Amino acid sequence: MRSALVFGGSGQIGQPLIQRLRAGGWHVTALSRSPQRGDARLRWLSGGFEAMPPLPAQFDAIISAGPLDHFAGWYAGGGVATPRVVAFGSTSLDTKRGSGDPAERGLAGRLKQGEDSVFTTAASRGEAATLLRPTLVYGRGRDASLSRIAALARRTGVFPLPRGARGLRQPVHVEDLADAALACLDAPATHGRAYALPGGETLPYREMVARVLACLQPPARLVELPAPLFAAALWLARRTGRASELGDAAIDRMRQDLVFDAAPAARDFGYAPRPFRPQRAIFARD
Ligand SMILES: NC(=O)c1ccc[n+]([C@@H]2O[C@H](COP(=O)([O-])OP(=O)(O)OC[C@H]3O[C@@H](n4cnc5c(N)ncnc54)[C@H](OP(=O)(O)O)[C@@H]3O)[C@@H](O)[C@H]2O)c1
């Protein structure tokens, strides 16, 4: 039985990943800072990157579905040997690199440094690393984008967008990401490479939001506002703490196409993500 060490196993990507590893006959050791329930094939260790518990010296694979910068630091520090590393990063590495928001540029920089560090460490140890960069993630009702939109729309019955919010998006389902990580493990073509993992459909931002609103019960209404009116509504929402994390850079990006090519991932490990068909159950937990 092969052994895997999983970081971020309690997360929205990590959970379906662990399910798949177990179904594939792996013995999984996973870390969490919160209590989790394990069994004979899934051992949860209590801790995180700031307080690492003692770990076995070797695994057949290490997978990170948690914060990449923390993982890269831990991996560079050594201590656990493995022939195979698969780590999630983000396409924010590209999309936020030139952002007007310093915090977003900082995130892009940390993602780039994290990727570089993982590849450098792996090369120095003769281990094989693969980096996976999802686009906009959805599927477990815990993401910070579509699930937040759904939660707000359910409370108010409407969701406002600025006119022209038609930049292209490729929302990707967490289960397709979990499949991708699993498929990579046994795909030698992926060694030393990074892959964008977009969803299986490319659609305008407005249409993406409209599909989320349409699947709510009752459905919520999309309202497109002229730029000055939207700015006023946003100012009010920020004043009342309802849109504190929606920065101007994020609003600008609604008009920008953020499109990535799935062909390298399809070629190297059979990546075949589903089209964007959100179901009400996804957002039921908000
Ligand atoms: N969400 C998105 O839209 C999106 C988009 C692109 C890329 N990604 C990337 O995909 C990966 C997984 O994202 P996700 O949305 O599945 O994450 P998530 O649901 O927010 O879960 C985060 C996971 O990381 C773990 N974690 C956080 N801080 C940690 C620390 N200091 N030490 C140890 N573990 C820590 C958490 O473990 P515990 O809390 O149990 O300790 C949890 O399992 C991340 O690399 C993220 O950057 C996400």
Could you tell me the CATH number of the domain that includes residue 79?
Answer: 3.40.50.720
- The stretch 47-57 carries a mean pLDDT of 95
> 241 pLDDT exceeds 90?
no
For residue 148, being part of any structural domain is answered with: no
Residue 55's pLDDT is 96
For residue 241, being part of any structural domain is answered with: no
For residue 60, being part of any structural domain is answered with: yes
> 49 pLDDT exceeds 70?
yes
For residue 199, being part of any structural domain is answered with: no
- The stretch 199-219 carries a mean pLDDT of 97
For residue 113, being part of any structural domain is answered with: yes
Q: What pTM, to 2 d.p., does this model score? A: 0.95
Helix then strand then coil, in percent of the chain rounded to 5, is 40, 20, 40
- The stretch 161-177 carries a mean pLDDT of 97
What whole-number percentage of the chain has pLDDT above 90? 84
Q: Is the peptide bond before 218 cis (omega within 30 degrees of 0)?
A: yes
For residue 18, being part of any structural domain is answered with: yes
Nearest residue (CA) to ligand 1, atom 2: 137
Both tokens of 19, joined, read: 């399910």
| Other Cβ atoms closer than 10 A to 32 | 20
Distance from residue 155's CA to the centre of ligand 1 (Å): 27
For residue 38, being part of any structural domain is answered with: yes
Q: Give the whole-angstrom CA distance, residue 35 versus residue 57.
A: 23
- Torsion, Cα of 263, 264, 265, 268 (10° steps): 120
Distance from residue 10's CA to the centre of ligand 1 (Å): 8
For residue 70, being part of any structural domain is answered with: yes
Residue 285's pLDDT is 55
Distance from residue 224's CA to the centre of ligand 1 (Å): 32
Total count of domains within the chain: 1
> 250 pLDDT exceeds 90?
no
- The stretch 170-175 carries a mean pLDDT of 98
Residue 15's domain comprises 3-134
